[in-house]
Amino acid sequence: MFSVIITNMNKKYIDKFYNSTAKKSEYEIFNITLPINLLYKDMFNETEHFLKANYDLLHSHIDVLASLYFNGNSLSPTELYDAMLFSSGGMTKILNKLEERNFIKREPSISDKRSILICLTKEGEKVVKDAISKIAKAKEEMFDVLNEKEKEDLRNILSKVIYSQL
């Protein structure tokens, strides 16, 4: 995998940004948000390219498959909407594509005959497990610059910020 956004940046401009924002307290927060934003964009673009090239999938597709995989292999559409950041119309389009590829199937709910469950198929499970293991490896390499204590601290800090937003 590759890092397009960060790799193409010139260090002198990053240094200038940090120096400028550090001098003005009202802009100091950007010393935290810019790196997060750059890392997000870099990881997103890297993963999107990898998924398209290797699986002919988009982030949204693997996000659905991973949500199913990590949540017991089946969810109601409402539960899936809650786990994802898509509109129901957007979700329907994604589910149709995944169903065409035999990565998911729609089954009637045993407990509520009026609703259906979105279920991960064996083929979908195989694809998501393969993709996320390769993506995880690439992400681990990105953070190899940190020692274990720094990684733990970063996980704790980011968790604290994320949970404060719920």
Distance, C-alpha 103 to centroid of its chain: 18
Which amino acid makes up residue 38?
L
Residue 3 has pLDDT above 60, yes or no: no
Residue 160 has pLDDT above 60, yes or no: yes
The conformation of residue 145, written as its DSSP 8-state character, comes to T
Which amino acid makes up residue 35?
P
Nearest alpha carbon to residue 138 among 28, 2, 40: 2
pLDDT, tens digit, 9 for 90 and up, residues 104-155: 999 998 887 788 999 999 999 999 999 999 998 888 888 889 999 999 999 9
Residue 90 has pLDDT above 90, yes or no: no
Residue 8: pLDDT band with limits 50, 70, 90: low
> What is the residue whose two structure tokens read 């393969």?
130
Element of type H or E holding 108: strand 104-108
What is the reported pLDDT for 1?
43
Backbone φ/ψ region at 126: left (φ over 0), alpha (ψ -120 to 50), beta: alpha
What is the reported pLDDT for 89?
63
What is the reported pLDDT for 118?
93
The conformation of residue 130, written as its DSSP 8-state character, comes to H
Give the mean model confidence (pLDDT) for residues 2-15: 63
Residue 7: pLDDT band with limits 50, 70, 90: low
Q: Can you tell me the distance from the alpha carbon of 113 to that of 144, in angstroms, rounded to the nearest whole number? A: 49
Domain ranges for the chain: 1-54
pLDDT, tens digit, 9 for 90 and up, residues 29-64: 888 888 888 888 888 888 999 999 999 999 889 999
Provide the token pair at 74: 């089946």
What is the reported pLDDT for 85?
60
pTM: 0.77
Query: Is the model more confident about 1 or about 153?
Result: 153
Adjacent-strand bridge partners of 104: 120
